[in-house]
Copies of this chain bind each other. A is one copy, B any other.
Amino acid sequence: MRERLITSPPRDDGRSATPGLLPGSSLDQFHAWWAQRHRASHFSVERISFPELDAWAFDDDTGNLVHSSGKFFTVEGLQVRTDGLDIWSQPVINQPEIGVLGIIVKEFDGVLHCLMQAKMEPGNVNTLQLSPTVQATRSNYTRVHRGAATRYLEYFLGHRRGKVLVDVLQSEQGAWFWRKRNRNMVVQVTEDIPLHEDYCWLSLAQLRELSRIDNLINMDARTVLSCFPFEPSGTDSGDEFTAALIRSCRSGGGAGGARHTTGEILSWFTDAKTRCDWTARLTPLSKVTGWIRGEEEISDEHQRHFRIIAVAVEAGTREVKRWTQPLLFPRGEGRAVFLVRQFDGVLHVLVQARPEYGLMDLVEMAPTVHLLPGEELSSVHEDFLRHSLSSPDVRVHYDQVLSEEGGRFYEALTRYQIIEVGEDVPAEPPPNFRWMTVRQLMDLLRHGHYLNIEARSLLACLHSLY
């Protein structure tokens, strides 16, 4: 059984290379360039069976799905235990090496622009998404796969390194990855740098506009953008919500306006970690219970969670031309929501301290509500949250479907929402929730282990609202 999932026509090699998108271009020009990138790309992804994988196989001893080089990533088992009892096990993607997600920024005519990439990933629902300048695993940039060198990497790690504005390890999906982190970097350059055809210069304002389009800005771009240290430069706008949001970007960190001090927030978070009474560890995939390994996929018996599948990929503008790999394929769409509320004219975000089995530090700050694909609203314990999510009386400021990492997940989509609520959502929420300002979240993003990937995505979306 072979299923052809995405196909584009191969590129005409006689055509001359198209330039990248220059700074100062309009969004119309961006869309024309983007359509052109789509036409120029050749990409096909087929599902294959596990035995058809090249260089990937199930290890005889452990049952883990591993690459013959011992590099890239492995699919292993995750075992959760509490009070000496095993309570849950599942497959998990283990990729201990730290990759680089980096955006180059440069001023053109006084306006800061970001160098973004049109990048294909095998799991992308729409082939191409807008990615950071550099998005490379350690295997990529140390060239384990003997492909081309990673373009622009020298501006982050090499002799051409720009001024470092952001440089922090941040976690990725705790439900599917084992303690995965990537190095989120932003570097500012002043020199001229070559513009390759797959790259475009976009201003922050343009990126914020584009974040209102479904499945365009990829997860890796969102996490780096969330770490940008810039406050909005404008004065309070006439719109009450925008004014409250801008005040939120300036409240906290000693400036007042926040409901809690940083010390109180950190203590609340430490308390939440201390309450977490389970531990997780890697286990051989063959010891995972309740999951079935077939020829085509590994799935849980009740078909509620996700599958591990295998694909063959052919690409014209990636570092290598053809490869096979496993991917994690969720069942349906996830949902991640920030509830926000104004207190004394300052917008606050209701943040959840949420344990996830695959997180290195067990608990991170998460969206107010996060439903994994397959989870129902009824699984949310708190009445006020279920009410807010189904009420017509709330103001929905952001509501888009965005993609998770297409290099490891197959068509993993999440509906991201920012919903403003009123006094029916309590000022004193249950113990695992806290109202925080945007500035407080931004300050914590200088450090790892605080905001999880879905919360960072939502923070990037929140910045698109002013």
Contacts and interface: CB of A to CB of B under 8 A. Distances in A.
Interface of A: 69-71, 83-85, 96-98, 100, 164-165, 167-169, 183, 262-264, 266-267, 270-271, 273-274, 277, 279, 281-282, 360-361, 446-449
Nearest to A268: B167
Contacts of A279: 96
This protein's copies in its complex: 2
A268 to B, nearest CB: 9
A267 B98 contact: no
A159 to B, nearest CB: 14
A288 to B, nearest CB: 16
Given A69-B84, A361-B448, 17 more contacts: A70-B84, A96-B279, A98-B273, A164-B267, A167-B263, A167-B266, A167-B267, A167-B270, A167-B271, A183-B274, A262-B446, A263-B446, A266-B446, A266-B447, A281-B281, A281-B282, A360-B361
Contact of A263 (B84, B164, B361): B164
A96 B277 CA distance: 9
24 contacts: A69-B84, A70-B84, A71-B83, A71-B84, A97-B277, A98-B273, A98-B274, A164-B263, A164-B264, A164-B267, A165-B263, A167-B267, A169-B270, A169-B273, A169-B274, A183-B270, A263-B446, A266-B446, A266-B447, A281-B281, A281-B282, A360-B361, A361-B448, A448-B449
Contacts of A183: 270, 274
Contacts of A262: 446
Contacts of A167: 263, 266-267, 270-271
A270 B71 CA distance: 22
* Across the A-B interface, the 9 shortest Cβ-Cβ residue pairs: A70-B84, A167-B267, A96-B279, A164-B267, A167-B270, A98-B274, A447-B447, A183-B274, A169-B270
Contacts of A282: 281
Contacts of A165: 263
A322 to B, nearest CB: 24
**Chain A interface mostly helix, strand, loop or mixed?**
mixed
A30 to B, nearest CB: 31
Contacts of A264: 164
Contacts of A164: 263-264, 267
Contacts of A281: 281-282
- Give the interface centre of A70, A96, A271, A446 by most chain B CB atoms within 10 Å: A96
Contacts of A168: 266, 270
Contacts of A270: 167-169, 183
Contacts of A360: 360-361
Nearest to A449: B449
Contacts of A84: 69-71
A79 to B, nearest CB: 11
Nearest to A446: B266
Contacts of A271: 167
Nearest to A264: B164
A85 B168 CA distance: 28
Nearest to A271: B167
A282 B270 CA distance: 25
Contacts of A97: 277
A303 to B, nearest CB: 30
A63 B168 CA distance: 39
A318 B282 CA distance: 37
Contacts of A70: 83-85
A98 B269 CA distance: 14
Nearest to A142: B277
- Give the interface centre of A71, A100, A262, A448 by most chain B CB atoms within 10 Å: A448
A323 to B, nearest CB: 19
